Structure 1
Amino acid sequence: MEGVEEKVVESVAEVAVQTKTMLHLDELMAYLTWGNLMKVVVAFISVLVFYVVYRIIKHIIKKQAAPRVEKHTYMLINKFVSYMFYVIIVMYILSLFGINLKAIWGAAGVAGLAIGFAAQTSVSNLISGVFVLSEKAMKIGDFIQVGDVFGTVDSVGLLSVRVHTLDNQMVRIPNSSVINSNLVNFNHYDIRRFVFDMPISYDSNMEKALEVANSIPGKCPVVLQNPVPCVYFDGFGDAINIKIAVWFNCSDLINAKNQMYAAIVNTCREQGIEIPYTHYDVKILNK
């Protein structure tokens, strides 16, 4: 009896599986109608047409916009066009098959609201990114400082700014930090100024020292003579301090420092101007 019952159960299970398979096949065959097939063909042709138009628009943007706008702005325009193409394609295909887009937009709105509350930091960075891009305070290739981070800008996006530091490390700076901190762009202008210290001894002739200091910028090829270098006394301390403010091209920062410091030391030695430094006298007492 037990063997008979097992066979009956197996037979019922096989019939159930076969019935379920037949139902799926019937559903599939019901879907594969000439009307739906035509919709697929129309969708394929439409996507192909949209793609051709999309490539033409991208080509126009590359030829017309790329030479006229900043590199990061061009990249954002390019991404925006790509995202719009994908959205239009998806929406068109869904509408072609009779899917209610209003329900999808409603669900997307609710989901977007929930995601917005859950990702307030990202939303803040997104809004800050709009201000960063609109202000045009930096561009790709600029050397900037945000907080304690120094680096060359690699990309400016809607969420963050990516830079690589002088030791070639990538640092991602959130746009909210850029907006809420002091941004220093060392390459925003073509030229910049740097002030060098030239301490002299109290025994030095101040008029001669000032004359010597005025001659130093002219000995440095990378230092610009327009704007004119500025030399002035800047108070007393362990030494009499002279400031030498010079202008140079932003790309010549390292050369300007090397040439100026070398010229200060060499010129002072030649002219007998003493540069004081801290030194100690050590006396050994015999007991």
Structure 2
Amino acid sequence: MDFSKYTEPAMLYISEYGLKIILALTIFFIGKMVTKRAAALIKNLMIKAHVDLTLVNFLANVIYFVLLIVVVLAALSTLGINIASFLAIFGAASLAIGLALKDSLSNIGAAVLIIIFRPFKVGDFVDTAGVSGTIEEINLFSTIMATPDNKTIMIPNSAVIGSNIINFSNKPTRRVTLTFGIDYGDDLKLAKEVLWQVIKEDERVLQDPAPFVAVADLADNSVNFEFRVWVKTEEYWAVHFDMIEKVKLAFDANGISIPFPQMNIHLQKKD
């Protein structure tokens, strides 16, 4: 049996494409190794630069896959495959996938904005998308927070970016603002002195910015004082509640009353 008619074409094919296949495989494996090392190097540099860890992982993965696509295209080009047609197919497939996953992609895009602009970070207490809580995690699709009563809420990143974000932990200090009303018959100056004394006795109150106490309103049933003190952010709620209790006790000790809302009705007798 004459095998020459099979072996000769095979040898021609091997001689023509063998080196190309070997070169393409070499490019792919070496390129893949270089891509991993490049992504790891960039990741380490970002970590040393104290970039947010969520952003580090995201960018490292993006860089790895982009470089890997370049390596695959280079290997295919070595084999003589028309990359232009491949790119057209890849582009069409990407468009179809993008339309199918537009909501997920919008969340990913929102995650990038959150990580880049950093309106909050893990551990901050924020109010966004109609809910309040402490940020526990920021991933590519959602922001996870724990509410003050320890419930877990997952908010799509697009909803976070699309709403107002109030960060209560971003600044080192916060202002405690309270309103205290006294009866019109009480001693106005004494009440003001009592409020200042409460402030002076609390070491948590900061002196810069300076505390503030003033008559703010002559209301229907009371004379209202505006009471403002600055404290460290982590002590805000403790000072807020303590001040309410201390002022009430100090008013009681000095005979200053906090009036109840009331309405006087005058009856006119007709003849």
The TM-score range, normalised by the shorter chain, is 0.7 to 0.9
CA distance in 1 between counterparts of 2:105 and 2:63 reads 21
Deviation at 1:186, TM superposition (A): 0.9
Partner of 2:268: none
**Residues 72 and 155 of structure 1 are in contact (CA less than 8 Å); yes or no, is this contact kept in structure 2?**
no
Q: TM-score, normalised by structure 1?
A: 0.70
Q: Kindly state the Cα deviation for residue 185 of structure 1 after the two structures are TM-superposed.
A: 0.8
Greater shift in the superposed pair: 256-265 or 201-210:
256-265
Evaluate the alpha carbon distance shift between residue 75 and residue 239 of structure 1 in structure 2; reply closer, same or farther with a 3 A threshold. farther
2:165 is aligned with 1:174: no
1:256 to 210, 214, 239: 239
CA distance in 1, matches of 2:78, 2:187: 91
Query: Are the counterparts in 1 of residues 31 and 68 from structure 2 also a CA contact under 8 Å?
Result: no
- Does the CA contact (< 8 Å) of 2:32 and 2:68 recur in 1? no
Deviation at 1:184, TM superposition (A): 0.4
Matches within 5 A, 1:53-132: 54-55=36-37, 57-59=39-41, 61-88=43-70, 90-92=72-74, 94-95=76-77, 99-132=81-114
Contact 1:145/1:185 (<8 A) preserved: yes
Q: Does 1:200 align with 2:182?
A: yes
Q: 1:185 to 1:269 in 2, by over 3 A?
A: same
- Provide, for residues 246-275 of structure 1, a one-character-per-residue CA deviation record: whole Å limited to 9, x for no partner: 111111123222332232122222222222
Q: CA–CA distance in 1 between the matches of 2:89 and 2:24?
A: 27
Q: Which segment drifts farther, 206-215 or 236-245? A: 236-245
Larger radius of gyration: 1
1:68 deviates by 3.3
SS at match of 1:223: coil
Q: CA deviation at 1:150?
A: 1.0
The answer for the alignment partner of 1:234 in structure 2 is 216
Is the CA contact (8 Å cut-off) linking 1:146 and 1:178 kept in structure 2? yes
Q: Is 1:202–1:240's contact at 8 Å kept on the other side of the alignment? A: yes
For each residue in 1:131-176, what CA deviation from the matched residue of structure 2 results, as whole angstroms up to 9, or x when unmatched?
4444332222221111321122234455443323223333232333
Check the 8 A contact 1:231/1:242 in 2, yes or no.
Answer: yes
Q: Distance in 2 between matches of 1:213 and 1:118?
A: 62
Q: How far off its partner does 1:202 sit? A: 2.4
Residue among 270, 273, 279 paired with 2:253? 270
Structure 1 residues 110 and 234: alpha-carbon distance in aligned structure 2, compared to 1, 3 A threshold: same
Unpaired runs of 5+ residues, structure 2, are 1-5, 263-271
Aligned twin of 1:141: 123
Conserved? CA contact 1:212–1:268, under 8 Å: yes
Residue 195 of structure 1: CA displacement? 0.7
Q: What secondary structure does 1:216 align onto?
A: helix
Aligned residue number for residue 164 of structure 1: 146
Q: Distance in 2 between matches of 1:224 and 1:214?
A: 13
Cα RMSD for the two superposed structures: 3.4
- 2:229 corresponds, among 204, 229, 246, to 246
Unaligned runs of 5+ in 1: 1-25, 280-287
Sort the Cα spacing of 1:260 and 1:43 in 2 relative to 1 into closer, same or farther, 3 A. Answer: farther
Q: Decide whether aligned partners of structure 1 residues 59 and 269 sit closer, same or farther in structure 2, where only a CA change above 3 A counts.
A: farther
| In structure 2, distance between residues paired with 1:163 and 1:89 | 40
Query: TM-score, normalization: structure 2?
Result: 0.74
Q: Deviations over 1:104-130 (max 9, x none)?
A: 321222222233334443444444444
